[in-house]
Each structure stands twice: as structure tokens, then as C-alpha cells.
Amino acid sequence: MVHSYHCHGHAFQIVESGPVHKNSSIPAKRFRGRQPMRRDTITLAANRYVRLRIKADNPGVWFQHCHQEQHSYSGLAFTLIEAPDVMQRTLRVPQEMIEFCRILGHPTRGNSAGRAGSDMTGIKPPLAITGTANSIPDTR
């Protein structure tokens, strides 16, 4: 199985690639040089790993995922939350989104748990939206 892994918000450099199992006959490969190739997508075969380098200079919440949708649903996806302190100072959430969060009972201040800093106690599980667009509350 091959995974096409995509990184939003950044171009990464591939530093190393190799087999997951140490007894593999395929050796790991380290990419040398001052400027490894930059990209935002890589193809990764099953039972292999890659070590990536990113420059964390783009504050935001960035989705990282396998391009095969069923794999994203299975857990081959995550969000990279970069510089949350900078985001809290510089980004502005549109009022319509704040109102939508209030309707759903989600905090509208602080971090995703509604607390300061990295205190995540009391965080609610993510909202599971299924079905059609009609299952989302109408905020008009």
C-alpha cells in the first residue's frame, strides 16, 4: 500500500527515509547536503518511514493527511498547531464563526478547551458532523 502524504501550510524537506523494521534488507537513506529538496507531498510505501524537516514560520492550524480519503478517516491525518500564542495575538476570527461556536457550545476564548496557555483540561471531544448539510444547525 502506498500513501500520498500531504502537508498544508508548509513545504518540508525530506531528511531521512527507511524501513520501519530493523531487519529489513532495504537500508535507511539519509539525505545529505545543505538544501534537501522541498515539497508539500511525498509518496510513502507501507512499512517505511520518513523524517521531515519543516520551518515553523507560518502560524496557524495546518491539516496534514494521507490523500487516500479512507486512510485519513482511519487516523492517517492530524493537525499541526503552530505558534498558538502568535495566533491569539494576531488572527481575528469572523463574528459569524464565533456565533456558530456559541450555538454548538464550544468556547470562543482561550485555547480549544477555553483555557489559557497549554492547559487543555476539560476539552470537549470534536463534533462529529454526519449526513447532509441539513444536519448542521441553521444560524440565520
pLDDT tens for each residue of the chain, 140 residues long? 788 888 899 988 888 888 887 776 666 677 666 666 778 888 888 888 888 888 888 998 899 888 887 777 777 888 888 898 888 888 888 999 999 988 988 888 887 778 887 787 877 665 444 444 444 444 44
Task: Please tell me the distance from the alpha carbon of residue 43 to that of residue 50, in angstroms, as a whole number.
Answer: 10
Angstrom distances, CA of residue 40 to CA of 55, 72, 90, 129: 12, 17, 25, 28
Per-residue pLDDT at 19: 84
pTM of the complete model: 0.58
Task: Please tell me the distance from the alpha carbon of residue 30 to that of residue 36, in angstroms, as a whole number.
Answer: 10
Per-residue pLDDT at 125: 62
Residue pair 65/39 in contact by the 8 Å Cβ criterion:
no
Phi, psi of 136 (to 5 degrees): -90, 130
Per-residue pLDDT at 130: 46
Per-residue pLDDT at 92: 85
Cell of 46: 507501507
Per-residue pLDDT at 99: 94
Per-residue pLDDT at 95: 95
The two beta strands, 48-53 and 12-19, are antiparallel
Residue pair 55/10 in contact by the 8 Å Cβ criterion:
yes
Task: Please tell me the distance from the alpha carbon of residue 27 to that of residue 33, in angstroms, as a whole number.
Answer: 19
Per-residue pLDDT at 126: 58
